[in-house]
Structure 1
Amino acid sequence: MRIVFVDGYNVINSWPELKEIKEYSYESAREKLLDIMRNYSAFCGYKIEVVFDAHMVKGAYEKKEKNDKVSVVFTKEGETADAYIEKKVNLIGRKFEVYVVTSDSLEQQVTFQRGASRMSSLEFYHEVMKIEGKIGKKCEKVYSQKRNLFEDMIDEDIAKILEKMRRSQ
């Protein structure tokens, strides 16, 4: 199983759509990212952990929310997302296929040394957009297969008569 750790604020600050949303509300940008991650995870079957820094928040405790295959972590006071991800990768990096999504080059090097593959936030953006395109095509195909067209429900002779009537008006 592939496990993907996502540095949440790093991604929000790198993706054009999320960057625009965060100008109005970080909460909205976080929720949009999590929606995208849920779709991505459901389609690919990957386990995803999105990590947000709370290290500057006085009195913050580590907070985890798990929803199916997507987990959300807010780090505790004094702990960065990078430190949290490094700690997790250190525990599981060589046991599973692990990817770390961040544009922080130092973080990429450290996690790579601990057994994870690395991907920049923009590389991940392009991969996610490609998957969203596949999701759209799959939904379109399912939708078109489930359509009930009027012409499919009536006899061919009646369809010809109705078409002739339609054209004569």
Structure 2
Amino acid sequence: MKEFLVVDGYNIIHAWPEFEKLRDARLEHARSKLVSVLANYSPLSGQKIFVVFDAHQVKNYAEKTEIVDGIAVIYTRQGETADAFIERLVGDLLKEGPVYVATSDWAEQSVVFGRGAYRLTPEELRRQVNRTRIEHEKHCKQDTPADGYLENRLLDRVRSKFEKWRRGKK
């Protein structure tokens, strides 16, 4: 069964300390960084991720969806908040599988929770992303490139046998 993660983009950007300098300098960079972090997290978590950004105060802006590194990045249309879009999206996604919504907006958490989705605070999502990254690095860490070679993982007697065959000795 497919799992989905819906992220209130600006909400997370304003809640995570690692975005503080980026959001103060240029919000575009913070958006890009968040999408990058979630793109790395998505294949490890197995979740299909949607990041929703408000564009409701931008004049004459139509809703726009982009797929960036496997992440659906959605900008709401003029007059629609990220919260309203997320509520609608959760209703659609719940038909296909479990949905998690990451936001610090208490009212939004209550609404999506009431619809049957799971809620995550920004800090819970941050811990989950970091824990998954650390677990992956620990599991896949190699000290040297040669550690991944098959010959270095063989038993000594098997390696010795192959070496004899390679040299033409039986």
TM-score clears 0.5: yes
Q: TM-score range by the shorter chain?
A: 0.7 to 0.9
- Aligned length, in residue pairs: 147
Q: Which amino acid aligns with 1:32?
A: K
Report the TM-score when normalising by structure 1.
0.81
Q: Give a deviation string over 1:65-89, Cα, whole Å, max 9, x none.
A: 1246410000000001100000011
Q: Give a deviation string over 1:80-134, Cα, whole Å, max 9, x none.
A: 1100000011223254110000000100000011110000111111111111212
Q: Residue 19 of structure 1: CA displacement?
A: 2.1
SS at match of 2:79: coil
The aligned counterpart of 2:10 is 9
Q: Which amino acid aligns with 1:65?
A: E
What residue ranges of structure 1 are gaps of 5+ in the alignment? 148-169
What residue ranges of structure 2 are gaps of 5+ in the alignment? 150-170
Among candidates 145, 148, 162, match of residue 146 of structure 1? 148
Q: Distance in 1 between matches of 2:143 and 2:47?
A: 23
Q: Residue 10 of structure 1: CA displacement?
A: 0.2
Report the TM-score when normalising by structure 2.
0.80
The aligned counterpart of 1:30 is 31
SS at match of 1:61: coil
Q: Is 134-143 or 21-30 further displaced after alignment? A: 134-143
The aligned counterpart of 2:74 is 73
The aligned counterpart of 1:61 is 62
The aligned counterpart of 1:88 is 89
The aligned counterpart of 1:51 is 52
Q: Distance in 1 between matches of 2:134 and 2:14?
A: 22
Q: Which amino acid aligns with 2:26?
A: S
SS at match of 2:62: coil
Q: Residue 12 of structure 1: CA displacement?
A: 0.1
The aligned counterpart of 1:136 is 137
The aligned counterpart of 1:106 is 107
Kindly indicate whether the alpha-carbon contact (under 8 Å) linking 1:94 and 1:114 is maintained by their aligned counterparts in 2: no
SS at match of 1:79: coil
Kindly indicate whether the alpha-carbon contact (under 8 Å) linking 2:54 and 2:75 is maintained by their aligned counterparts in 1: yes
Note closer, same or farther for the CA distance 1:64–1:108 as it changes in structure 2 (3 Å cut). Answer: same
Q: Distance in 1 between matches of 2:21 and 2:94?
A: 33
Q: Residue 143 of structure 1: CA displacement?
A: 5.4
Q: Distance in 1 between matches of 2:83 and 2:143?
A: 40
Q: Residue 15 of structure 1: CA displacement?
A: 0.4
Q: Do structure 1's residue 41 and structure 2's residue 45 form an aligned pair?
A: no
